A and B are shown apart, each in its own frame.
Chain A
Amino acid sequence: MIRVEHLTKRYGRTVAVQDLSFEVARGEIVGLLGPNGAGKTTTMRILSGYLPPTGGDVEVAGCRVADDSMGVRRRIGYLPENCPLYPDMRVDDYLAFRAALKGVPARDVRRRVEEVETLCDLRDAGRRTIGRLSKGYRQRVGLADALVHDPELLILDEPTLGLDPNQIRQVRTLIRQLAERRTVLLSTHILPEVEMTCRRVLILHRGRLLASDSTDRLRELLRGRARISVEIRGPPDAIEGALREVPGVESLAVERGGEWHTVRLECAGGTDVQPDVFRRVADRGWLLRELRRDQHSLEDVFVALTCREADAEEPAAPAAPAAGGGAAP
């Protein structure tokens, strides 16, 4: 559905996207993840035909963006960042206007507007002026607009930006529903958003692709490092001394409580330190309430990848970008 090969975009001397390559298959729901300034919006604007690439090749729904921008625009539903809408129009009128503009035949406009209003839970807001709607409603109007011509592909730039937690949940549920019949590419810098919504993640940093894989497999990347949490009742200094000597423990931090103390251990890859920790606690007669291996979140993966990238860039020129599946070496 989307094929991006060696995409580069420069604004003057500033490189916004550099040698970016990835593919999105039909029916996938993919998250484009990265901090502010990573190149997410620029990439989406190029995919939507709003901006031309400086270099590389982009194909969306079988049409090359450079040669057939109109074809691309007919096949995609695009929700730009901040969901811009005409505040002076009523929701019904706005959606009818957008449907007509996107080529929905005049006889079908009313039906399509009703369908997307039902899908986006906007039936009660049809006669309301957009400027008077809450941000959550406006976001749903934006999604309805993106859907009104029944596109094959939805490109959503930060669809939950500025929403409160309830509104975020509503929009997230809606996106999951929409993804049942369509390909969805959404950008965000909110990690839980990607974990809850997407099956695959593309991590961008400073315009380059750091990783492209499923959320589970990205977490596997950090499986080499284990994080253990232990809750123990005993003298904190003695606990620290005893656990620091466990083979495989690289660092630890003790959070002192009243009677129970929490110890967080960072361990080297391949070592299972939990039996050793248990034995040392038992031998000393301390009480153990919890011994848990923490699962790495996508946030950990993201931080690890971006920090590794920053470290690599500091002394010398940038390293070669990653493309396709897996993380950058």
Chain B
Amino acid sequence: MRAFFILLRRELGALFLSPATGGLMAFVWIVTGVAASALVRLPFDTLRGVPVMTELFTLAYWLVSPVAVPLITMRLLAEEKRSGTFETLVTAPVRDGAVVAAKFAAAWALHVALWAPTVVYAVLLRLLAPSAPPPDAGAIAAGLLGVAVTGASLVAFGLLASAVTRGPVAAASLCFAGIALLLLFGLAPYLFHADAWLRLGRYASPVGHLYEFSRGIVDTRALAFHGINAGLALYAALKALESRRWA
């Protein structure tokens, strides 16, 4: 565990102090800010009673994440392999599992940190419209939980893409393609209204899961779906690292 925390500290420093992270944060703020501004200007009928924060989490998240997650994860292992620091890292007395876990935890923490400040929009809504019903704090907390668990899946997949490629650009491209496929799969229940798709969507649509979370519904199926996804991706990333030791 000691190696994990030492590596986590190094990864957090590298991720949070990187100039690229500043740009990424600005990008998230611009997209969520524009989305929030557009949503509060919509006539009430258009939203059909859906809270602004629910729309914000689902709409803005899927606008931002296909770009933000590859940018966060692309350098985690691919850059280390390209520059040779991976060899320095794993010839220290540290297990590959600690490397994977620390890199995942740091990238996930950054992903959550990018979204946590969206709570500010709920405060702004309350201040700007004091006579309207207050935003549902429980739904906002559940929405943030949804962002965190969806992010766990996506970040773990990004780490896997970084583990199986030898350069950050290839890693980002693979991660983007993976998220795009997941997103398309997640949209299927909304595009094809067949029962089978709708049933499948309840279990396996990340878009549907995030929508439910942001309405305040914490469904264990969604937690299990993202937990299994993240676990499988991290296991595959670990095996990709260990493959160099397969004689």
Contact = CB atoms under 8 A, between A and B. Distances in A.
A145 B91 contact: no
B18 interface: yes
A88 to B, nearest CB: 6
Contacts, number: 58
Q: Is the interface of B mostly helix, strand, loop or mixed?
A: helix
A98 B9 CA distance: 12
A288 interface: no
A76 B17 CA distance: 32
B84 A70 contact: no
Contact of B14 (A45, A49, A84, A88): A88
Given A86-B14, A101-B3, A50 B244 contact: yes
Chain A contact patch, size range: 20 to 34
B167 to A, nearest CB: 15
Given A52-B247, A97-B6, A97-B10, A74 B85 contact: no
A102 interface: yes
Given A86-B85, A88-B14, A78 B91 contact: yes
Given A86-B85, A100-B6, A52 B245 contact: yes
Contacts of A101: 3, 6-7, 92-94
Interface string B235-247: 0000000001111
B88 interface: yes
Given A88-B18, A101-B3, A73 B87 contact: no
Contacts of A88: 14, 17-18
B119 interface: no
A236 interface: no
A243 to B, nearest CB: 54
B14 A70 contact: no
Chain B contact patch, size range: 20 to 34
A110 B224 CA distance: 44
Contact of B92 (A51, A81, A98): A98
A35 interface: no
Contact of B247 (A54, A70, A73, A74): A54
Contact of B88 (A53, A74, A85, A100): A85
Given A50-B90, A102-B92, 7 more contacts: A49-B91, A50-B244, A51-B244, A84-B83, A84-B86, A86-B85, A88-B18
Interface of B: 2-3, 6-7, 9-10, 14, 17-18, 83-88, 90-95, 244-247
Interface of A: 45, 48-54, 70, 73-74, 76, 78, 80-82, 84-86, 88, 97-98, 100-103, 145
